Amino acid sequence: PLTDCYAAVDIGASSGRVVVGYLEDGLIRLEEVHRFDNRQVRLNGHDCWDLDLLGTELLRGLARCREAGFAPKTVGIDTWGVDFVLLDADDNLVGDAVAYRDARTNGMYEVADAIMAPEELYRHCGLQRQPFNTIYQLLALQREHPEQLEAAATFLMIPDYLNFLLTGQKAVEYTNASTTGLLNAETGAWDETVMAAFAIPRRLFPNVTHAGASLGPVLPEVAEAIGYEPRVVLPATHDTGSAYLAVPACELPAVFLSSGTWSLLGVENRSPICAEPAYRANFTNEGGYHFRYRFLKNIMGLWMIQSIRRELNGIAYVVDEKAIRKGRLHQYMRVEGLGHEVDFPDLIKAADEAEAAGVTASIVNVNDDRFLAPDSMIEEICAACDESGQSVPQTLGELMLCVYESLVSCYRDAVDELASLAGHDYASINIVGGGCRDGHLNRRTAEACGIPVYAGPVEGTALGNLAVQMLADGVFPHLKAVRAAIAESFEVTKVEP
């Protein structure tokens, strides 16, 4: 097998994949060896991640590397942010891995604000206020299951937990830890003032470890199961942190957009901006690789499109027989005569046709929390149009146009906010992630923002993950060199406004 290679395990909220990366004639090559649908399960009254599924797919994916003729030297795991597990003193799980869209954080803003004003919290952590930030999840846990916090010995985030399964080592990686709301944005260490104020036990949190560090070889039983013995190296374990690393930044100054379940739109800075105007614009400062900060806005993103697709296909978002509230076949917008499940290209086609027919799109505020986990995304969008006195979508095309128009108007506002905070305009938007395969969205983004869009690479996140592994192995001397190799190795599509 080829041993001069690296494996990225990149797990987003909607799907996970294992991608092998290696160098060939100075260019970076990728081969996807495994892909699976991620899902949530209803456990003990909450929507939770299926840790068994994640563990199984992780091992299956690593075994597939070997079957495809690779025995990667190192493996790196990244996932979505904010979510965590607790382990007891014997390293057994305490409670479930509750997922960030679960309703347990309802009402936690009020609880938190009574302890510390949100602008004060922002001065410490520089994190965009969102109901699912880890800090609010921990406050919810304090109220519902204080005994779990008492029984716990270690807090690990999802990628940290998967690393623990592979190696037996417990480490919390910095980029993902920066999505908790408990890390100090300036120092990059756990913010003891914040932890003390919110009575979050500091003892649970291992000191943060940085991307590039090695956790050592996989456990013997893992090596046996997958057929080789890689070391586990920490990439930027937050998927958005990995994605931003892989942006080719074609026309400077560039706005970055990591486009997947979420649209993460922003720029890379050398220091955090925790001042009042950034707080008011609700931009986040997430920790990046090697002293970089992602100054960005979380925009509801393609989650809305994923939800419409699932709903039309009658697929539950949370696996539970009783959970008909999510994922029932929508009565009013069946796609007739397709002969197959509705897929993204079908939805794009519906939008293209409505646009060609001259439909005027209604616009909703995509960042309204009502769209985080509605019972029916289609009905929620229609209700928002109705409540704001606009025409209610009657066809799939009208619905899709509404989503696209609403998304790109939010992109435009975010680009404008960035420009006014930075004091200069931006020349381009560089999109990476699954969403950059959406030609309708790319074109409308360029039109709405009035600057060119550069779309690609699609597997930006896996690529950013691999980049750090290659840096750790000395394949490239520094980040600038890997970024140059990425720009040379992958085709990027330019879309003019």
**What x-and-dash track marks residues 260-279 binding ligand ADP by CB under 6 A?**
xx------------------
**How many residues appear in the chain?**
497
* Partners of 266 in the β-ladder: 256, 296
Q: Does 433 bind ligand LRH (CB under 6 A)?
A: no
- 239 catalytic residue (yes or no): yes
Binds 385: which of ligand ADP, ligand LRH, none (CB < 5-8 Å by kind): none
The torsion angles phi and psi of 99, rounded to 5 degrees, stand at -85, 155
Q: Are 445 and 259 in contact (CB under 8 A)?
A: no
| Tokens linked to 244 | 């931003």
| Tokens linked to 245 | 């690393």
CB closer to ligand ADP out of 152 and 305: 305
Candidate ranges 146-154, 232-240, 328-336, 341-349; the one touching ligand LRH (CB under 6 A): 232-240
State the minimum distance, in angstroms, from the CB of residue 308 to ligand ADP.
10
Candidate ranges 91-99, 247-255, 324-332, 434-442; the one touching ligand ADP (CB under 6 A): 434-442
Binds 264: which of ligand LRH, ligand ADP, none (CB < 5-8 Å by kind): ligand LRH
| Tokens linked to 259 | 């486009």
- Segment 337-356, which members bind ligand ADP (CB under 6 A)? 344-345, 348
State the minimum distance, in angstroms, from the CB of residue 80 to ligand ADP.
7
Q: Does 435 bind ligand ADP (CB under 6 A)?
A: yes
CB closer to ligand ADP out of 288 and 433: 433
* Partners of 297 in the β-ladder: 265
The torsion angles phi and psi of 134, rounded to 5 degrees, stand at -50, -40
d(CA 354, CA 333): 14
Handedness of CA 325, 331, 332, 338 (dihedral sign): positive
Pick from 292, 232, 228: nearest CA to 266: 292
Cα within 13 Å of Cα(408), Cβ side: 25
Q: Does 235 bind ligand LRH (CB under 6 A)?
A: no
Among positions 22, 49, 70, 80, the unique one binding ligand LRH when judged by CB under 6 A: 80
The residue with tokens 């046709």 is 353
- Site size for ligand LRH, by CB under 6 A? 15
CB closer to ligand ADP out of 137 and 465: 465
Q: Which residues contact 379 (CB under 8 A, 6 or more apart)?
A: 330
Q: Does 240 bind ligand LRH (CB under 6 A)?
A: yes
Q: Does 82 bind ligand LRH (CB under 6 A)?
A: yes
d(CA 228, CA 63): 8
The catalytically annotated residue of 50, 78, 239, 438 is 239
Q: Distance from CA of residue 467 to its chain's centroid?
A: 18
State the minimum distance, in angstroms, from the CB of residue 224 to ligand ADP.
30
State the minimum distance, in angstroms, from the CB of residue 103 to ligand ADP.
21
Give the residue numbers marked as catalytic. Answer: 239
Binding site for ligand LRH (CB under 6 A): 12-13, 80-82, 100, 179, 238-240, 260-262, 264, 298
